[in-house]
Chain A
Amino acid sequence: MSDNLQTLGDALPRLGDAVLVTLQLTLGGAALAFVLALLLGFGSRSHRGAVRVPSRVVVEFFRGTSLIVQMFWLFYVLPVFGFRLESLACGVLALGLNYGAYGAEVVRGSINSVPAGQWEASTALNLGHVHRLRRVIFPQAWALMIPMFTNLLIQLLKGSALATYILLHDLNYFTEQLRRSTQDTFFSFTFGLLVYFAIAYLLTLVMNALEVRAKNRLGAGPTLREVLRIAPVPATAKAGAA
């Protein structure tokens, strides 16, 4: 066991690099996915067929063909057509496209579940289309979206482990290397999985904080500061939240 820890200690700088690659893939993929989710999600609700149909086709295409197929397609097949992407770009692009398509469904569903009265009220107040979406509809839909985005983000983190197979030195690769140098499968993989778990946990915490903030801005629930402070929240604030 102490030998294992010794080996792990020696490998720590490489662990840092590996976690960095995994985070680059996850956060880069998530950023791309978020932008795509908004574009495709709003696109799929458009009244204009010329916008709606292509958005639906793109969403169903990237949801329907597996992530791993997409990643390997970008890595092995795209160069045949004359575009060679770096491994990291392949990974980010595949993760972003795949989870962007899933996210688009989340965006579409959340916007649809904002009560019709909110739309009608903004029309009655004579708000413009952009104004209505930005100040009334989207903030409410956003609070609904975040928990589902959290799930997708964790899925995306897990999907990033595929990057090992397109020759990136991510956390999955580090785990295999650690196994090779310690000759101890149980130790190295438990360690690797725990690091993944820790990253997932941190990402969930950040997303939960975003959710608290989004709900508070709607006038429901405590502020983030109230949630984070050590002293218990006063009873009145709790009653307000419920």
Chain B
Amino acid sequence: MNDIWSWQRAADVLPLLLEGFRITVLATVVGMAIASVLGLLVALVRRAPSRWVTLPVGFLVEFIRSTPLVVQLVFVYLLVPGLSSLTIGFLVLGVHYATYMSEVYRAGIDAVPRGQWEAATALNLPRARTWRAVVLPQAIRKTLPGLGNYAISMFKETPFLFAIGVVEMFTAAQQYGSSNYAYTEAITMVGILFLAASYPTSVLVRRLETRLA
């Protein structure tokens, strides 16, 4: 057993992993912030009356949604020189997840009962006020569980950033593994850290889901 798993190596790599964990969490928070704002914008733009707007935006959203995040990361990284790989990681994660979030917002907006719109018209509320004070507060409440679930899923997809050389938790493990030729402890512990962080969060989100339902 000792030649397979060494506690010494595990202790060596742990500080590197925790340092990487910080970047992982940072990427998730920044990425999710971009995704939730941009996602809402996309959802609103997709409701625009003109087809000249909705069709191209719709295609772009579908395109980003159904092509691999890794490929997109490398693509943008190679195409845009001058930005740090971490910034590119934030942006691509944010834009990729914005396409998911826009669907969540759309479902939330669609779920606001017709009566609310009609009431807003009857009260002679201006369009902007209808959105801001009536529709969005109700819609966004319903999107909270979706936001939580995508945050967890983004958290687990941050390792993709290794493809552009961002040293988050997984890249740290990978680097330690290749320089010492000992992947066992590093990769196993990354998995355990992911589980330790994402399982409690997913339990919380599920509780939020039942509370808001």
Q: Do A and B interact? A: yes
> Which residues of A line the B interface, CB within 8 A?
60-61, 63-70, 72-73, 76-77, 80-81, 154, 157-162, 164-165, 172, 175-176, 179, 185-186, 189, 192-193, 196-197, 200-201, 204
Tell me if B25 counts as interface (CB < 8 A to partner A): no
Tell me if B194 counts as interface (CB < 8 A to partner A): yes
A172-B70 in contact given A64-B198, A76-B187 (Cβ < 8 Å): yes
Chain B residue nearest to A65 (CB atoms) is: B191
Give the distance in Å from the alpha carbon of A185 to the alpha carbon of B75 in the complex: 7
Tell me if B4 counts as interface (CB < 8 A to partner A): yes
Which residues from chain A contact B163 at a C-beta distance below 8 Å?
165
The residues in B between 38 and 72 inclusive whose CB is less than 8 angstroms from any CB of A are 62-63, 65-72
Interface string of B97-132 (1 = CB under 8 A from A): 000000000000000000000000000000000000
Task: Judge whether A189 and B78 touch: CB under 8 Å.
Answer: yes
A175-B71 in contact given A64-B199, A72-B183, A201-B66 (Cβ < 8 Å): yes
Chain A residue nearest to B199 (CB atoms) is: A64
Task: Judge whether B183 and A77 touch: CB under 8 Å.
Answer: yes
Give the distance in Å from the alpha carbon of A158 to the alpha carbon of B99 in the complex: 15
Residues of chain B at interface, number, CB under 8 A: 36
A/B interface sample: 26 pairs, CB < 8 A: A60-B195, A63-B198, A63-B202, A64-B156, A64-B199, A66-B156, A66-B159, A66-B170, A66-B190, A68-B170, A69-B170, A69-B190, A70-B191, A72-B170, A73-B188, A73-B191, A76-B187, A80-B183, A154-B65, A157-B66, A158-B66, A161-B71, A162-B70, A193-B75, A197-B66, A200-B66
Which residues from chain A contact B183 at a C-beta distance below 8 Å?
72, 76-77, 80
Give the distance in Å from the alpha carbon of A210 to the alpha carbon of B65 in the complex: 22
CB distance from A152 to the nearest CB of B (A): 12
CB distance from A166 to the nearest CB of B (A): 12
Give the distance in Å from the alpha carbon of A65 to the alpha carbon of B162 in the complex: 16
A80-B67 in contact given A70-B191, A165-B163 (Cβ < 8 Å): no
A158-B195 in contact given A68-B159, A73-B187 (Cβ < 8 Å): no
Task: Judge whether A158 and B67 touch: CB under 8 Å.
Answer: yes
Task: Judge whether A77 and B188 touch: CB under 8 Å.
Answer: yes
CB distance from B58 to the nearest CB of A (A): 13
CB distance from A178 to the nearest CB of B (A): 12
Tell me if B184 counts as interface (CB < 8 A to partner A): yes
Which residues from chain B contact A76 at a C-beta distance below 8 Å?
177, 183-184, 187
Task: Judge whether A176 and B67 touch: CB under 8 Å.
Answer: no
Which residues from chain A contact B68 at a C-beta distance below 8 Å?
157-161, 172, 196
Tell me if B79 counts as interface (CB < 8 A to partner A): yes
Which residues from chain A contact B75 at a C-beta distance below 8 Å?
185, 189, 193
Task: Judge whether A154 and B70 touch: CB under 8 Å.
Answer: no
Which residues from chain A contact B162 at a C-beta distance below 8 Å?
68
